[in-house]
């Protein structure tokens, strides 16, 4: 609700900017042309993820991983890390924060393990693993669109080494912090109850087809919309009550749309001069750009931070360094990433106590080290 209110306020400011001429109509048209495929993808993949969760797909996958671990906590830990990376890479960081978090918390409780370490795996890797593919983060889609290509292999060729470093560094830090607090072995848990096996199979097949299509080089909104329509059709047939307007992330759409308008208006009145000074200009300076991204993301939020700094970053390795800063860096303040706010809301709803001081401490340990090392392949 708070996100929706903030989004509505931003949209109102954007409308005033258009009416007063601060944001020219032709520039508004350019913003709309740029963002509609991105927002359509966000809506479609969110619907797919929500329906897959309603079908019990994430519960079943986590149960299979727990069975594979055979009571060995270290192996269960590594499998949860891998699941968080895959979910973030293909279905976006918000899916990991919103849908995977309650799954791993429930799994930990069923195996009589402390859920806090597993909860932090989801939120940290939701951010650091979101460097892998264009579809992993809204900022990545914006960067890919700015560079003129949404080809996932080109994106991976540029940011792949940085993404691997970010994932490994953050996973190692979390392992050193938390794994020793968990017992070496854990008790088995019962299999999750599946309400409708047809829907479960349909969700599994749709997601299995969707994941490779997201890296096939076609605009990602196309397979995402197709998957949403197919899976939505199954739910209309088997469980029509689940298909509700609330499946659409209205608050996120308002927030993102409002940000595009406000940042566009700010650029029209000279924002680029300020951001060019902060991020530097010309070739090189990847660490400066990444540092500016970290600072702006933690002061504001990673999405407006990227929108404000993308022009100053330009393209190539500088734009990639900005992504490292705004994706892997927003772990110091709770509002730095929308995924973090969504994650915290889910934990509160489940009665899992997480202190922001604990989040800050872990962020201080993870974010600077991760960003500095992840920029290395881009700067050398």
What does the pLDDT read at residue 250? 87
What's the CA gap between 147 and 134, in Å, rounded? 12
Closest CA to 173 of 378, 15, 374, 362: 362
What does the pLDDT read at residue 30? 84
Task: List the pLDDT tens digit at each of the 380 positions of the chain.
Answer: 577 788 888 889 888 888 888 888 888 888 888 888 888 988 998 899 899 989 999 888 888 888 888 889 999 999 999 999 999 999 889 888 888 898 899 888 888 899 999 999 999 999 999 999 999 998 999 898 887 667 889 999 999 999 999 999 999 999 999 999 999 988 777 777 888 999 999 999 999 999 899 888 888 999 999 999 999 999 999 999 999 999 998 888 888 888 888 888 877 776 666 666 566 665 668 989 999 999 989 988 888 889 888 888 888 899 999 999 999 999 999 888 888 888 988 888 788 888 889 999 999 999 999 999 999 999 88
Contact of 5 with 249, CB cutoff 8 Å: no
What does the pLDDT read at residue 277? 57
What's the CA gap between 377 and 296, in Å, rounded? 22
Three-state SS sequence of the chain: CHHHHHHHHHHHHHHHHHHCCCCCHHHHHHHHHHHHHHHHHHHHHHHHHHHHHHCCHHHHHHHHHHHHHCCEHHHHHHHHHHHHHHHHHHHCHHHHHHHHHHHHHHHHHHCCCCHHHHHHHHHHHHHHHHHCCHHHCHHHHHHHHHHCCCCHHHHHHHHHHHHHHHHHHHHHHHHHHHHHHCCCECCCCCCCCCCCHHHHHHHHHHHHHHHHHCCCCCCCHHHHHHHHHHHHHHHHHHCHHHCCHHHCCHHHHHHHHHHHHHHHHHHHCCHHHHHHHHHCCCCCCHHHHHHHHHHHHHHCCHHHHHHHHHHHHCCHHHHHHHHHHHHHCCCCCCCCCHHHHHHHHHHHHCCCCCCHHHHHHHHHHHHHHHHHHHHHHHHC
């Amino acid at each position: 609700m708070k996100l929706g209110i903030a989004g509505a306020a931003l949209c109102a400011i954007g409308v005033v900017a258009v009416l007063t001429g601060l944001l020219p109509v032709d520039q508004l048209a350019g913003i709309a042309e740029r963002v509609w495929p991105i927002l359509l993808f966000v809506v479609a993949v969110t619907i797919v993820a929500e329906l897959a969760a309603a079908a019990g797909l994430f519960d079943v996958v986590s149960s299979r991983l727990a069975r594979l671990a055979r009571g060995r906590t270290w192996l269960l830990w590594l499998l949860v890390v891998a699941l968080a990376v895959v979910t973030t890479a293909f279905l976006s960081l918000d899916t990991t924060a919103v849908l995977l978090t309650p799954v791993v918390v429930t799994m930990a409780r069923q195996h009589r393990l402390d859920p806090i370490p597993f909860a932090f795996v989801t939120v940290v890797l939701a951010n650091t693993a979101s460097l892998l593919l264009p579809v992993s983060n809204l900022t990545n889609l914006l960067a890919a669109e700015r560079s003129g290509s949404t080809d996932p292999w080109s994106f991976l060729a540029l940011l792949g080494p940085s993404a691997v470093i970010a994932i490994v560094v953050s996973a190692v830090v979390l392992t050193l912090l938390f794994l020793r607090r968990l017992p070496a072995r854990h008790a088995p848990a019962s299999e999750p109850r599946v309400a409708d096996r047809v829907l479960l199979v349909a969700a599994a097949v749709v997601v299995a087809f969707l994941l490779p299509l997201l890296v096939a080089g076609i605009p990602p909104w196309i397979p995402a919309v197709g998957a949403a329509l197919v899976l939505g059709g199954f739910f209309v047939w088997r469980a029509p009550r689940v298909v509700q307007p609330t499946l659409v992330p209205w608050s996120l759409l308002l927030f993102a749309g409002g940000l595009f308008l406000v940042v566009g208006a700010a650029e029209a009145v000279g924002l680029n001069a300020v951001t060019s000074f902060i991020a530097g200009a010309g070739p090189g300076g990847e660490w400066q750009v990444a540092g500016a991204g970290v600072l702006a993301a933690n002061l504001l939020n990673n999405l407006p931070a990227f929108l404000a700094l993308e022009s100053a970053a330009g393209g190539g390795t500088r734009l990639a360094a900005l992504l490292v800063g705004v994706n892997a860096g927003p772990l110091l303040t709770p509002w730095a990433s929308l995924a973090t706010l969504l994650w915290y809301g889910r934990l509160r709803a489940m009665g899992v106590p997480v202190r922001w001081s604990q989040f800050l401490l872990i962020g201080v340990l993870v974010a600077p080290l991760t960003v500095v090392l992840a920029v290395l392949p881009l700067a050398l």
